[in-house]
Amino acid sequence: MKLSGPVIHTVLIASLATVQSVLFRHGLLGGVTPDFALIVLIFTANQHGSLRSQTAGFVSGLIQDFLSITPLGFHAFTRTLLGFLFGVFKGKLFIDPILMPVLLAATGTFLKALFGYFLLVLFAPAHAAVVFSVQLGIEIGLNALVAPFLFGFLKLAGIVKTTREEL
């Protein structure tokens, strides 16, 4: 069985989104949980491009929308957009073991919050101010801390392997 197909990516990201929504709903540090699904989405986007990442982001976002109290489509929109943006850089970034995963995860987390802020400004302006808080700083730090380990695990496991046909 091929472990690098688009279905595997989507199932992996959706599974991580489910686990973090259900098991870690109270948070690990300051009520905040690292966004494992986002980190895997960023990694797969960088390895396989926009199309697969948009699909995986959309499906995992919908699952998160169903498991949380957010309006349907909120996470799906932000994850799809993040999958596209990070997928644009496929093959253009050298992913070293530590610095780039940290930078990509921190940037992805900040962009996720920024896109969420814009959606809240459009649809619920009274709640938009809650996006940029101490919890966002904690989440950026946790994601940056976890990213090198998760990137390394994904590379070692060979789950996200680029084949010659994809190049």
Separation of alpha carbons 17 and 15, rounded Å: 5
Q: Find the distance separating the first CA and the last CA of the chain, reported in whole Å.
A: 20
- Domain tally, the chain: 1
In a domain, 1, yes or no: no
In a domain, 134, yes or no: yes
In a domain, 113, yes or no: yes
119 has pLDDT over 80: yes
The CATH number that applies at residue 59 is 1.10.1760.20
In a domain, 122, yes or no: yes
Residue type, 110: F
Residues 40-77: pLDDT tens digits?
A: 999 988 888 888 889 888 988 888 888 888 888 999 99
Tell me what percent of the residues of the chain surpass a pLDDT of 70.
89
Separation of alpha carbons 164 and 145, rounded Å: 32
In a domain, 39, yes or no: yes
134 has pLDDT over 80: yes
DSSP assignment of 111-123 equals HHHHHHHHHHHHH
Structural domain range at position 142: 6-166
Tell me what percent of the residues of the chain surpass a pLDDT of 90.
34
Q: What's the Cα-to-Cα distance from 121 to each of 66, 72, 114, 124, rounded to whole Å?
A: 22, 17, 10, 6
In a domain, 156, yes or no: yes
In a domain, 49, yes or no: yes
